[in-house]
Structure 1
Amino acid sequence: MQPVLMIFEDVHWIDPTSLELLTVMVDQVPQLRVLLLINARPEFAPPWPHYAHVTTVALTRLSRPDGAAIIERITGGKTLPEEVMNQILARTDGVPMFVEELTKTVLESGVLQERDGHYVLEHPLPSLAIPTTLHDSLIARLDRFAPIREVAQIGAVVGRSFSYELLNAVAGIPREKLEEALGQLVLSELIFRRGEIPHAVYTFKHVLVRDAAYSSLLKARRANLHAAIAGAFEQRFPEIVEAQPETLAHHLTEAGLIEKAVSYWLKAGKNAVQRFANLEAIAHLQRGIETAGRLPDSLGRDRLELDLQFTLGPCLIATQGPASSTAIATFARGRELCARLGDPPEYLQVMFWLATGSVIRGELPQAREVTATLLGLAEARNDRPMLINAIRGLGMILLFMGHVVDARELTERAIEAFGASSETEKLAARAAGQDAGAAGLALMSWALWILGHVDMAAARMAAALQRADAVGHPHTQAYACYYASILHALRGEPAIAHRHAERCLSLSEEYGFRHWHGLSRAIRGICMTMLDPSASTLEEVRDALDHYRSAGYQLGITALYVLLCPILLLRHEPEAALEVIEQGLSAANHNSERIFEAELHRLKARALLLCGAAGSETHAQLLLDRALTTARSQHARSLELRAAKDLAALWIGQGRRDEALAFLAPIHAWFTEGFDTHDLKEAKVLLDQLQS
């Protein structure tokens, strides 16, 4: 493989998708024969980690000798009068492009004459002969080439790059004069050409050159040119209309053709959604919403904005989470627009988004009431996509509230409804943020594990992952991978859990899933410590949990707590474990998230026994009794087995072996599957000891 030099310039202006590609390239560079150079302004914050193979060099202003060297290169080695040289160096203040452009401005101004291999001043240097800013310098150069200035201005309206074909379509200039003007711009190095006419593409030397040309236009002329460019795209370049509707949207917006512009911003957003480019979709849709605000109040404007907000919702759910302030504001605005439009079809989904935000914030009882109402409305309206999501959403709420049997029944019902739906309905149900089929199977797997069907749970989770991969929807894949990582960690399979956590994290980093990014970091760190108790990853876990809570997220936090506590106990840190347990119990009481309440009581008993304080056995007995009562009330067989095993171990230490055997044996005997999992193996070992 030949060595390659790759250069990315002005990365502070990079679009989200290109930045994702660049981030992957930076990660892969050590395996390639590539020297990758990236330049950007100081405000650019690289999204990649501090790799050992990445070196950052801060570029300071040029020294006086370096500036003089650039001037000498531009003059072809011919010296300038000292007065002119000093003014150029003083006014450019070490900015390379300014040095270059100002030198060319002076050379083109006519104040200098070439003599015997150097330049001289024929007359004293006028006070305004040398512009004081880069912008003034660029304007001066354009003004000096009056015949070509108009061509540069038209090109600037198109953008940083423009094709000969498009320019010829809108300029209204004879071909010969157009080509002559373009040739002069190329010779002046204000623009560069790639390819040959009529297929040539021109690029301004720098965005500041383009900006200078653009700013020299009167506003009315700019608007007319933007409208002409948009019209040319629609009439002559249908492939751009289809692939880059945001380009037309921009020109139509600047032309003041607002309603048409909004429809193209919507199309651009939808195109980006289809590519899973959520950040680009958000940018296009928010620009469309901003543009729609320039229309007069009317139901038509409200309808246009609702289309934009409705497309924006799932993008925000994926990237920021449904409880983020931006997402909640979008959902609330959607509700307001629905009210003004008189209960349109989107109303139920918008209300479901708001309920989902409440779920993520831990407001489970309120969300349960709203979602139950939505379910009834969906049934009354025969709205199949909303019905699927409402059933699944209510099942999720009940699962986290600890009503596991009801949760299983609802998720089964949601999966059945999903299976009986058309592909169009299945796709419409994805407005909730993820594929309803994969999400329903993932939820059911947790319910089945808690109810004691541990192998059936693994099978449902495998089906969820398979469905997520089959539809190829990245946010669904991240969702399923996170649920899979928790399930396999609960089953005592940290290696499998770690693999799913890594994939969830990778997807989150690639597609900007902020919500799953923190959660996957936490479960990954927990799994790494399970595999190697000496690993120093717990600080990362704590940071991820703190970040999750500080963002206002609450749902599912107890699952991570009950996985973290056994590690702390193995590391003989019972005080730290008790602190985490108290946070979990507080969440159970405050948020009604009681899915792992029994496990929290069990772990608290273990932590107290490890502390060894006076009366710890008595207190532990009470906590284990409470854990058993809670687990039985929830029909949580897996959690009941754990509590029973710990209580039996406590009784063995008290010499109550027969009671322990009689108590543990029937609980273990209930299970008909999962005998190769950690919990059932431990219970079997304990029973064998008691029976020997």
Structure 2
Amino acid sequence: MFCTQCGVRAMAPSRFCGQCGARLPVPVPAPEAPAREISRRQMTVLFCDLVGSTTLAEALDAEDLFEALRAYHTLVKRIAVRFNGHVAKVVGDGVDVYFGYPMANEDDAVRAIHAGLAIVEGIGSLAGPDGKPYGLGVRVGLATGRVTVGQTDTLAIAGATPNLAARIQAEAQPGQVLVSPVTRRIAGPQFDYDDLGPVALKGFADPVRLSAVAGVKGFNSRSAWRGRDGALPMIGRERELARLRQAWEACRHGPGEAVLVMGEAGLGKSRLATALAESLHDEPHLVIRLQCSPFHTNSVLYPFVQHLMAAAGFARHDSPQAQIEKLEAQLAIAGISEPQDLALMASLLDIPVDGRYPPLEMPPPARLQLAGELLVRYFAELTSQVPMVSTEALLALYFRGVTRSKPLLIVFDDLHWIDPSSLELLDKLLSTARLQHTLFVLTARPGFEHRFPPQARVPTIELRRLDAGQSRQMVAQLCHAIDLPASSVDLILSKTDGIPLFIEEMTRMVQDVQGVRSGLGLGSAGLGVPDTLLDLLTERLDRLGPAKALAQAAAALGQTFPTDLLAAVAQLPATTFEDQLNRLLASGLLLPHGPGQLKFKHALVENTAYDTTLLKTRVALHGRVVECLQGEFAALAQGAPELLAHHLARANRALEAARYLLQAGVQSLQGGAPREAAEHLKAGLQALQGVAEGPARAEVELGLLSVLGPTTMVLMGPGSAQFGEVQKRAHALCQSLPGKPRQFPITYGLCLYHWGRAEFDQALPLAQQLLHTANAIECGELDLGVAPHEAVMAACNMNGMIAFHRGESVQALAHLQRSVSLYQPERDAALYPVYLMDFGIFGRFYLALAHMACGEAEAAQQHALDAYTLAQRLNQPHSLGFSMLANFNIAVMRQEPEVALRFAEQCVGFSTQFGFPEFIGMARIVRGWATARRGQPEQGLADLEEGVRLWQSTGFENWQTWFVCLKAEILAELGRREQAVLEIDEQLERIQRNQERQFLPQLQRWRAALATG
């Protein structure tokens, strides 16, 4: 055992250091460290190197040099142990120290920086046996990142982080600590930095922005360290804050009270105490914060010492004389001025007094006891002073003799890290009757257990997680720079489980990504665990010991899973599995979730457990999951092909995964969910990227493309570039495969794309090919695996649409009548997932248009109404939208604005819900026309123009001649004839290019009418 204050080895069973008198560390059961096997983790690497070692070697005898190096190595090792670092490598005058291995700490980056500063400070004091300083200097570089590390024959590490730390160290000046951007971000505002800007480092392609650590900031709460205190209003803690206010009111004019605020990391315990202090700003009071430290759990009276140093205003380079004078002034506030008392407090703060006070002739335990009594007196006397928060103002008024009573708020943060001496002193403070008008707000995490003195009643406030509404409110409050899409907000909420710290860090990470990928939603695969939380979460996993491997196996299953499936995947002996599962449950990282079910406490814990699993182990775990889901646990995957696909993909069985994703896509389409279908199908294509070329891969790719094409058409319109890309790739792939599988529906899709783009010279040959093939199939001359009625309906539908837009109305009518006559709703419902088009409804839409073009208005109206009735019965959202288009277009052509307006408004609301942009565009165009007809031309024109913009954004090129006919009518009414003529002329030129002649007569009539006035 070593003294944490002076570093001298102590002999058991001593309780105090024989050298400096400090209380020795209290042995506590250490968490079971994981076996030093290979592991993936985030780690902060500290690399330090002596300055001028060559010059030193020339100046010193070899034996003296050896002693100097040994002293240097001992110093680094002692400081590393103090801050829970692991000395991994010592080579000459260079030392590598790892923070986060073999056990993670929640603040490894912070510990590493403190260690670096301590090494720089301590190196100058090293001296030889003769007391003469060696005159050593050191440079320190730190970097944080993901690595793979473990003990094989020797300790090995893979990743860029160690090299980066070494390169950063080489850029440091003597006595300087330089850190990487990630290290600085994780450590947060706990330190002052000098920004050195981007620096080119050998072996790294891009410059790295380096920062020099200038010093430690004197924050007095953990939430302040993270920059959270007072930054934004607190959410979801109104009830808890009211309870603290009630306790404050009770103690303002009476005896002292205490309240213990309990909650897991990140719930906002310190932030709640800060909110209480902020609420008192208009009242007479004094606030003192005492902060325990995770790496000073055995530093005697650490929170009290830090308070005295901060309250007295100690500066980093103060001389002992200056420190003594500041300490005396601070203690004078509480009426402490006796030389022996001052000597005790100077000794506690380790300030040399150089004969200023009489020597302390007492053993260390007695000194500690008297120092504790002085501190009790110090806090008791503070309550009888002036009602000011500022220590400087308090001191000034004290010397003027102002001594009016005031209440005192003492916030004692993070008792789970308190040193034993401080805990004893806290009990004394809570027990003393002299401490009037004082409220103690104590904060601690679950696991802190202490029996406070009987006379000190300490009620507990337990902080809960935020509910969904409060969590969403917090995200909105944090999103002041970048508005996040709803999908990203939902993702944040799903991963953070109502923990404010997690919400804050995840939101920041998503905002960073959104800043790069502006306007894009984020899928769950695009987000991991924020590096600012990785150390905290990894520490919890490391404390599980051997049960960590079971947590990693559970992470392969997802956030919720059956207990018996975990047992089957883990492949552990029954007693071992039960013991490790009990340990996981006791840790709180896994929770029961209904009969026979388990759940990770937080999604981020699950993500961290998975992220720290070796890649080979992941593959094996997912492979075992697949075996279970295809065997004993097949019922779990029934009806959920995406579940099997997920595990197959992660088991490096991408081809099988793609097949199941195709099933999932088809299943989603059949359930009326094209967006979900598109995601499954795209994931299947992505999975195939790593599969070698060959017939099996091509067959699966063609299957995915053949379904993704119609899906994209529904979501983005048949004229969209994305739909065209899918159809062109599918058509080329189909032509290259033996037997040309799926040739007919794929050709239909490619033809539909060219139709939507008004590229009739390319669409017409494909449509004629479809019709020729359909006739051959119907006559039995050809077998492509397509039923005769399907082939004829599709081919005639496509030829009829093209003929209509080309102005060949009679021919269009013949094709469309033949198509619709073959349609049988019950039989042909199965064709919808193939074409994502119901030929009975879409066929009637264009059949109605063809009748109207042939002058048969009544027949046109009836076919449109029949389409609407049929669509309501079939309950296919896309088909129902088409039926609305049929009715409002026919109503416009029949000059029935009221009917058109009713169907158009219905279509806008309906299509907005389901996300059909071209339907919304056309409906707004018609709504604009009908609105103008009702006497509001300006409003109608604006609506129509926005509808045209939406229509064009989908890539649609056809129908625009018709839209200009409607627009010209409104422009004429507004007296904007010249604009109407210009737009008509543009459409006449368009007709010359693409031969969409259906609405040419109407344009010509409007052109003539406008020209004659």
Correspondence for 2:291: 82
**Count of aligned positions:** 521
Return the offset for 1:458.
Answer: 0.5
Over 3 Å counting, the alpha-carbon distance change for 1:144 and 1:396 in structure 2 is same
2:977 matches 1:581: no
1:478–1:503: 8 Å Cα contact kept in structure 2? Answer: no
Which of 374, 380, 389 is equivalent to 2:794? Answer: 389
Rounded Cα–Cα distance in structure 2 between residues aligned with 1:183 and 1:64: 40
Query: 2:556 aligns to what?
Result: 157
Q: Does the aligned pair in 1 maintain the 2:809–2:854 contact within 8 Å?
A: yes
Q: Give the whole-Å Cα distance in 2 for the aligned partners of 1:405 and 1:74.
A: 77
Q: What is the aligned partner in structure 2 of residue 449 from structure 1?
A: 852
Aligned in 2, Cα 1:144/1:408: closer, same or farther, shift over 3 Å?
Answer: same
Per the alignment, do residues 439 and 161 of structure 1 end up closer, same or farther by CA in structure 2, a change over 3 Å counting?
A: same
Distance across 2 between alignment mates of 1:439 and 1:504: 16
SS of match in other structure, 1:243: coil
Tell me if 1:548 matches 2:757: no
Does the C-alpha gap of structure 1 residues 535 and 167 become closer, same or farther in structure 2, counting only changes over 3 Å? farther
Q: 1:440/1:132 Cα in 2 relative to 1: closer, same or farther (>3 Å)?
A: closer
The match for 1:418 is 823
Letter in 1 for 2:821: E
Q: Which amino acid aligns with 2:700?
A: L
Q: Secondary structure at the match of 1:202?
A: strand
* In structure 2, C-alpha distance between the alignment counterparts of 1:223 and 1:394, rounded to whole Å: 51
State how far apart, in whole Å, the 2-side matches of 1:503 and 1:67 are: 42
Change (3 A) 1:219 1:522: same
> Letter of the aligned partner of 2:728 in structure 1?
A
Matches within 5 A, 1:588-667: 588-610=991-1013
Q: Distance in 1 between matches of 2:419 and 2:577?
A: 26
Q: Note if 1:140 corresponds to 2:517.
A: no
2:262–2:443 Cα contact (<8 Å) kept: no
Paired residues of 2:816 and 2:846 also in contact (CA < 8 A): yes
Per-residue Cα deviation, 1:469-517 (whole angstroms, up to 9, x for no partner): 2222211111221122111111122222122223333332222223323
CA distance in 2, matches of 1:454, 1:354: 32
Scaled by the length of structure 1, the TM-score of the pair is: 0.69
Q: Do the aligned residues in 2 keep the contact of 1:161 with 1:202 (CA within 8 Å)?
A: yes
CA–CA separation in structure 1 for the residues paired with 2:535 and 2:980: 66
> Given the alignment of the two structures, is residue 306 of structure 1 paired with residue 702 of structure 2, yes or no?
yes
- Give yes or no for contact 1:418–1:426 (8 Å, CA) kept in 2: no
What SS does the aligned partner of 2:600 have? Answer: strand
Distance 2:1011 2:772 in 1: 47
CA contact (8 A) 2:816 2:847 kept: yes
1:487 aligns with 2:890: yes
The letter of the residue matching 1:396 is M
**Structure 1: distance between partners of 2:667 and 2:746:** 22
Shift of 1:371: 0.8
Aligned residue for 2:613, secondary structure, equals: coil
Show CA shifts across 1:63-94 (max 9, x none): 26999999954389999963628999xxxxxx
Task: Tell me what 2:973 maps to.
Answer: 570
Contact 2:917 2:954 in 1 (8 A): no
Report the counterpart of residue 432 of structure 1 in structure 2.
835
Task: Quote the offset at 1:363 in angstroms.
Answer: 1.1
Q: Secondary structure at the match of 1:133?
A: helix
SS at 2:293's partner residue?
helix
Match of 1:223 in 2: 619
- Which of 595, 599, 611 in structure 2 is aligned with 1:202? 599
* Rounded Cα–Cα distance in structure 2 between residues aligned with 1:466 and 1:111: 80
Alpha-carbon shift at residue 172 of structure 1 (Å): 2.6
Q: 1:338 aligns with which of 734, 748, 752?
A: 734
- TM-score normalised by L of structure 2: 0.48
The equivalent of 2:567 in structure 1 is 168
**Other-structure match for 1:50:** none
Gap change, CA 1:193 and 1:529, over 3 Å in 2:
farther
**What residue is the counterpart of 2:630 in the other structure?**
234
Deviation beyond 6 Å, 4+ runs, structure 1: 65-71, 75-80, 85-88, 108-113
Question: Is the contact made by 2:931 and 2:937 (CA closer than 8 Å) also made in structure 1?
Answer: no
Partner of 2:996: helix, strand, or coil? coil
Per-residue CA shift, 1:167-199, capped at 9, x if unaligned? 23322345565455445445544344333xx42
2-structure distance, mates of 1:264, 1:560: 44
Residue 408 (str. 1) matches residue 597 (str. 2): no
CA distance, structure 1, for counterparts of residue 762 and residue 1003 of structure 2: 24
Note the aligned Cα RMSD (angstroms): 3.4
Q: Could you give the per-residue CA deviations for residues 334-390 of structure 1, whole angstroms, max 9, x where no partner exists?
A: 112212212434112212211111111111233122211221122223442232111
| Aligned AA (1:514) | P
Paired residues of 1:490 and 1:563 also in contact (CA < 8 A): no
Name which of 922, 928, 938 aligns with 1:525: 928
SS at match of 1:427: helix
Partner secondary structure for residue 201 of structure 1: strand
Report which stretch shifted further, 396-405 or 229-238: 229-238
Identity %: 26
Worse-matched range after superposition: 77-86 or 438-447: 77-86
Residue deviations 1:524-581 (CA, integer Å, cap 9, x gap): 2332333342562422321331343354321112222222322222233323322332
Distance 1:532 1:494 in 2: 11
Residues 79-119 of structure 1: per-residue CA shift (max 9 Å, x gap): 9963628999xxxxxxxxxxxxxx99x94899998544579
Going by fraction, where is helix more abundant, 1 or 2?
A: 1
| Partner Cα separation in structure 1 for residue 626 and residue 697 of structure 2 | 22
Matched with 1:261 is 657
Q: How many Å separate the matches in 2 of 1:189 and 1:606?
A: 80
Identify if the C-alpha distance between structure 1 residues 159 and 477 changes in structure 2 by more than 3 Å, giving closer, same or farther. Answer: same
* Cα distance between partner residues in 2 of 1:271 and 1:410: 32
Q: Report the secondary structure of 1:489's partner residue.
A: helix
Name the CA distance, whole Å, in 1 between partners of 2:943 and 2:860. Answer: 29
Q: Deviations over 1:16-65 (max 9, x none)?
A: xxxxxxxxxxxxxxxxxxxxxxxxxxxxxxxxxxxxxxxxxxxx962269
| Aligned-partner Cα distance in 1 for 2:976–2:636 | 62
Which runs of no fewer than 5 residues in structure 2 stay unpaired? 1-225, 241-259, 274-287, 298-412, 428-441, 445-529, 779-785
Confirm or deny: 8 A CA contact 1:519 1:545 kept in the other structure: yes
**Alignment-derived partner of residue 868 in structure 2:** 465
Name the stretch that deviates more: 344-353 or 247-256. Answer: 344-353
Larger radius of gyration: 2
Structure 1 residues 108 and 274: alpha-carbon distance in aligned structure 2, compared to 1, 3 A threshold: farther
Change (3 A) 1:132 1:498: closer
1:210 Cα shift?
Answer: 1.6
**8 Å Cα contact 1:269-1:285 kept in structure 2:** yes
Match status 1:507 vs 2:907: no
Q: Which amino acid counterpart does residue 498 of structure 1 have in structure 2? A: L
Q: What is the CA distance between 1:314 and its match in structure 2?
A: 1.3
Unaligned 5+ residue runs, structure 1?
A: 1-59, 89-102, 121-130, 611-692
SS in 2 for 1:84: coil
Cα distance in 2, alignment partners of residues 461 and 184 from structure 1: 67
